[in-house]
Structure 1
Amino acid sequence: MKLNKIHHIAIICSNYERSKEFYVHTLGLTIVKETFRAERNSYKLDLAVGNEYQIELFSFPNPAERPSYPEARGLRHLAFEVDDLDSAVSELEEKGIEVEPIRIDEITEKRFTFFADPDGLPLELYEK
C-alpha cells in the first residue's frame, strides 16, 4: 500500500453555528461545500486548509464529550503550520482566543503553541 497524503480530518462539534463561525471567521478557513443531511439531522461543512488539506466539520444531535484534554485515546490534537507564530498568536488573542505560552519543540527546535476550538479540541500552531 502507498499512502500519498492526508486527505481530510473530520471533527464533530457540539454547536454547529458556533464552530462554523470559529473555523471560518476566527481561523479564516474557506468553505468548500456545506451540506445538510436531513436523515441524520446533521450538517457537514467541508473547509479548505491552504491548497492541500481539508477539514470536515460535522454536527450530530447530542455527541459525547471528549474524555480528557489532551491525553485521551484517539486524535490528540490538530496542528496548523504558520509562517509567523507571533503574528498568528496576536491575531487569535485579538479575537478573544486564549493561547498557551509559546514553547520550543526539543526535537526540531521549532516554536509552537496550543489553543482550543469551541468544543475544547486542542489545536496547535507550529511555526514553519
Structure 2
Amino acid sequence: MAVTKMEHVGIKVNHLERSLQFYQEVIGLTLQGILGQPGDEVRLAFLSFPGQTSVEIELIERAFEGLPQEGRVSHTAFTVDDIEEEHRRIAGLAIPELTGISELANGSRYFFFEGPDSEKLEFFQPAHS
C-alpha cells in the first residue's frame, strides 16, 4: 500500500473570503493557494500552519443546499504516491461509491470512495509529487 500521509480535511463554506479571513486571523493558518475564480461553480482554498505544510485545511465554496449546521466536514483526504495503482487497488476491494480519477487545474489528481460508515474519503496525488 502506498498511502503516505494525511493530505487535507475538506470543509464546506458558504463564503470563501469570509472563511479565509477567519482561518487566517483566528486559527493562524497560512494561505497556500486558491483554485478557481469568483463566480466559478467551485472554488477551493488550501491553508496550513506556518512552517508545517504536511497537512492542510481545504475550504470548499459552492452552493450547498440544505447544508446542516453540523457535519460541515466534507471529506478526509490522504496523499498517495501512485493514483492509478491506488484506484485499481480500491476498485479490486469493491468498496462502495468509488469515483473515477479527476484532475484539478494545477495537475493534482484524486478520487473518492466511502468508508464503512459512509464517510467520504479521498486519495489525492499532488501535482508536485
* TM-score, L = length of structure 2: 0.45
**Relative contact order (C-alpha < 8 Å, sep 6+): which is higher?**
2
